[in-house]
Amino acid sequence: MPIYIFLLENFKLNKNLKCVISVISFLFAANAGAQVTTKNNGVIAFDSNANGVPMISEIRILGTAVMKYDNVGAGFQMTARSSAGNAYNPTQAGDCRQHPSQVLSFSSNWSPSDLQLNAQNGVMFNVAPRDYAESTSCASVGGVVLPFQFEFGATLGDAVSLPKELMVLDLYYTRQQGAEIVQKGQSEAPVIFPMLNVMPYAYSSVDGSTIVPFNVVVNGAPTNDVRKWPIGPNQYTQGKLIMMCTLSQTNCIGLYSNKETINIFSRRAGAKYPLSMLALTIDSGGEIADFDRHHARKLLVVGTPSTIATVISQASSAISDWGDL
């Protein structure tokens, strides 16, 4: 028997009805995003809400998994940071103790109103994020829910309005009373953790069309094989596109911004898998200091480098509104 039915049948209405309603509301809110949802346009497939964590938890390209659920801090999501850096780090999925963020709502059929995309190919997360708290209380209690509203919308292309080799990302940040000021150059919009053994090689592009290896010097020699990089340190570049590829470049996954910004690569040791990290910051600098709802539109793109360059060109022609961030 569902617990909310049990509660209704076992509480007398002449007792504390407000208490019953509050308990039921809490249970619905706590489980609003718990059901795993799958979207698939034939090229890209993704799952949401694995283990009750409000983020995109798995991505497959033509059936091959390139990102799987590893931990709350990985997956595919958005973050923010204040001038305190990692000491104040609201994170969509949850905290470093693996506590999920508070789900305000979850739409399993969503698409942006200005694009003619099928809502059956999209989702929208609406969360009050937890402080990731890695540098403060991770070893003890984890992170508290912070006074922000994060909205993460993801909609697949349909080969009509936009190519199937992309996912449109609509990310919204809203500060609330008591929230620290957001530093755009330290906030990830979005961040993704592909499996390193599937796509080990890093590439970047200043303009979204000319794609070159992104090298880090290891033992005196430059390499874009992220498996050879040191684990942990961030590697920064400026541009519009960052991506990971197979050795032969037959399959790649990338993040695209319509404007140049600070982009981040990293090699990470996941809880289950060796991981890479790719992140687009909101902007190269500046702050979100007001309480308005701010919108950033980005793309996730897949395919060969030439396919990705073509997809970006087509999307750039079709999309006029990239948000105000």
| Res. 17: pLDDT tops 80 | no
**What mean pLDDT do residues 260-287 have?**
96
The DSSP bridge partners found for residue 124 are 107, 153
5 contact partners, CB below 8 Å, separation of at least 6: none
CA 7, distance to chain mean position in Å, is 36
| Res. 61: pLDDT tops 70 | yes
pLDDT digits (tens, 9 = 90+) for 174-215: 999 999 999 999 999 999 999 999 999 999 999 999 999 999
Tell me the whole-structure pTM to 2 decimals.
0.89
| Res. 158: pLDDT tops 50 | yes
The DSSP bridge partners found for residue 170 are 153, 297
**What mean pLDDT do residues 42-58 have?**
97
**What mean pLDDT do residues 231-260 have?**
97
**What mean pLDDT do residues 301-318 have?**
98
Query: Residue 289, exposed/middle/buried by CB under 10 A (0-12, 13-18, 19+)?
Result: exposed
| Res. 156: pLDDT tops 50 | yes
pLDDT digits (tens, 9 = 90+) for 98-108: 999 999 999 99
Q: What domains can be seen in the chain, in order of their start residue?
A: 1-30 (no CATH), 31-318 (2.70.98.90)
Q: What pLDDT is stored for residue 18 in this prediction?
A: 38
**What mean pLDDT do residues 146-162 have?**
97
* Residue labelled with tokens 């209704």: 8
Q: What pLDDT is stored for residue 34 in this prediction?
A: 58
188 contact partners, CB below 8 Å, separation of at least 6: 78, 79, 264, 279, 280, 281
Average pLDDT score over the chain = 90
| Res. 2: pLDDT tops 90 | no
Of 25-29, 120-124, 161-165, the one with minimum mean pLDDT is 25-29
Q: What pLDDT is stored for residue 137 in this prediction?
A: 76
- C-alpha to C-alpha distance for 18 and 185, rounded to whole angstroms: 45
Q: What pLDDT is stored for residue 295 in this prediction?
A: 98
| Res. 4: pLDDT tops 60 | no
Q: What pLDDT is stored for residue 135 in this prediction?
A: 82
Cβ-based neighbour number of residue 96 at 10 Å:
23
pLDDT digits (tens, 9 = 90+) for 84-97: 999 999 999 999 99
